């Protein structure tokens, strides 16, 4: 079994905060234990609170860690193990909102674009999906204003044509989720950290929805399935690499 050495204890990465008598920890709890050992010589009680870690990265790592896409514990431990120490020192208030919008940008230019390019989409929706997919860095969603522009496009496209079945209209799902995210990030929102957790959950749910619809329709571009795990790991790296 693949493990990570934290102090004098070998641990593997598993779902949930802590299990198997502390032999399995989630990636963030493992980071907290390592940080505690570095500072005090003790592993401390299991926790997912690591003050030096960016809350955006923390939320994505927890989502990825607890996802259903791991073949086994070794797969999770080998893939996420480097993040146990790699997340240290990433907390930076100046970068936080840039990281938030980096994740939103992927949700629109990749996830939403994929959903709208299914052959089951109305031509007006397919056009919007192709347009989003073709957006260069000059059209990147970097703030609330550029996110609002993307949402205006959704409203116009949705009014132009309907999905074959109203309850399967991904455009409305995406727009609803982005509206929730937008509201959660407004000044005076109940909790910025709560908004970030909601953001990751909403986008993760959106990617999973798109993947499930692709499987149920059995038609997706060239028939390639959406790699939800790979997509989120790539997005994790892009959020981590945000620079001022």
Q: What is the pLDDT of residues 82-101, one digit of tens each?
A: 999 999 999 888 888 888 88
CB 124 within 8 A of CB 161: yes
Average pLDDT of the segment spanning 52-72:
87
CA–CA separation, 154 and 136 (whole Å): 18
Which pLDDT value is given to residue 35?
93
- Non-local (6+) Cβ contacts of 221 within 8 A are 117
Instruction: Give pLDDT tens digits for 173-219.
Output: 666 666 666 666 665 544 555 666 666 666 666 556 555 554 444 33
Q: Are 8 and 19 in contact (CB under 8 A)?
A: no
C-alpha torsion sign, points 244, 103, 231, 46: positive
Does the pLDDT of residue 30 top 90, yes or no?
Answer: yes
Question: Residue 50 half-sphere exposure, CB side, CA atoms within 13 Å?
Answer: 36
Question: What pLDDT shows up at residue 217?
Answer: 40
DSSP designation for 42: S
Identify the helix (H) or strand (E) that includes residue 12: strand 9-13
């Amino acid at each position: 079994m693949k493990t990570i050495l934290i102090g004098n204890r070998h641990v593997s990465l598993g779902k949930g905060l802590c299990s198997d008598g502390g032999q399995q920890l989630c990636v963030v709890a493992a980071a907290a234990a390592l940080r505690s050992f570095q500072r005090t010589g003790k592993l401390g009680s299991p926790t997912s609170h690591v003050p030096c870690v960016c809350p955006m990265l923390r939320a994505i790592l927890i989502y990825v860690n607890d996802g259903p896409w791991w073949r086994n514990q070794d797969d999770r431990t080998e893939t996420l193990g480097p993040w146990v120490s790699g997340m240290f020192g990433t907390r930076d208030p100046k970068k936080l909102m840039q990281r938030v919008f980096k994740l939103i940008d992927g949700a629109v230019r990749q996830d939403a674009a994929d959903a709208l390019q299914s052959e089951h989409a109305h031509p007006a929706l397919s056009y919007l999906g192709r347009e989003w997919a073709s957006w260069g860095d000059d059209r990147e969603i970097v703030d609330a204003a550029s996110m609002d522009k993307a949402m205006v496009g959704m409203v116009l496209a949705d009014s132009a044509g309907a999905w074959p079945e109203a309850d399967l209209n991904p455009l409305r799902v995406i727009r609803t989720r982005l509206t929730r995210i937008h509201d959660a990030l407004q000044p005076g929102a109940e909790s910025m950290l709560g908004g970030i957790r909601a953001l990751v959950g909403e986008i993760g749910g959106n990617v999973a929805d798109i993947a499930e619809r692709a499987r149920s329709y059995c038609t997706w571009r060239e028939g390639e399935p959406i790699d939800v795990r790979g997509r989120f790991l790539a997005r994790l790296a892009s959020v981590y690499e945000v620079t001022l």
